[in-house]
Amino acid sequence: MDKSASTEFDRVRAAIERSKKYLYKKGMILIVDDKLEERKKARVIVEAAGYLTHTCDFPVDDSDADWQNFLFYLSVSDGVLTDLVNLRGKPQGLLIALEAVSQGKPVVICTNTKEQGGHHGEAIGWIYDGYFARVKTRVGWIEVIPDDQGVWEKNWVGAIELLKQRIKST
């Protein structure tokens, strides 16, 4: 990273920290989802809970500017809400959760465990039971809920409530 980019990151980081201190007493939540509509829903719910938000799609790879952008916002966030998605053969949601945990950030995975035959549910059950629950990390996951028509949707309200608990326990 060149010096001017580093200086710009420092300037933005300072502005975010000021915003967190004076405007949003609870901090900032990073929301990562591949669907714009889901990011919008999550943002409204998380901001209504009193948090500053930053939303992003999944980074492409670690050499990409998107990954550097993600790492920057992760570094200034107090917690992460992420989807569990497999893009271009990479388990991006899992990579997001692992990177956040490696930086000591609490994470809640909010994914549709019922879509496409429940493949997300199988994956998250294996990941959570096989790793996260055993090592006592600050990672949790939230089940989907049916809407008025019985269609399964992501439970962003439940996700932010669980994340708030995980943030308090850090």
Residue 88: CATH number of its domain = 3.40.50.2300
Whole-model pTM? 0.74
Question: What pLDDT does 166 receive?
Answer: 85
Question: What pLDDT does 41 receive?
Answer: 94
User: Of 15-29, 30-44, 64-78, 82-96, which gets the smallest average pLDDT?
Assistant: 15-29
Q: How many domains, the chain?
A: 1
Using one digit for the tens of pLDDT, what is the confidence trace for 121-151?
A: 556 665 655 555 555 556 666 666 666 776 7
Using one digit for the tens of pLDDT, what is the confidence trace for 75-126?
A: 999 999 998 776 666 667 788 888 898 899 999 888 876 655 445 555 666 5
Residue 45: count other Cβ atoms within 10 Å of its Cβ.
20
Question: What pLDDT does 39 receive?
Answer: 93
- If you average pLDDT over residues 19-24, what whole number do you get? 58
Residue-number span of the structural domain to which 15 is assigned? 3-168
Band the pLDDT of 46: cuts 50, 70, 90.
Answer: very high
Question: What pLDDT does 80 receive?
Answer: 94
Say whether pLDDT at 44 is over 80: yes
- Mean pLDDT of the chain, nearest integer: 77
> Which long-range contacts (C-beta less than 8 Å, at least 24 apart) are formed by 66-74?
68/1, 70/30, 70/32, 70/96, 70/99, 71/99, 72/9, 72/12, 72/13, 73/30, 74/30, 74/99, 74/100, 74/103, 74/105
Question: What pLDDT does 28 receive?
Answer: 92
Burial 12-42 (b: 16+ CB within 10 A, else e): eeeebeeebeeebeebbbbbbbeeeebbebb
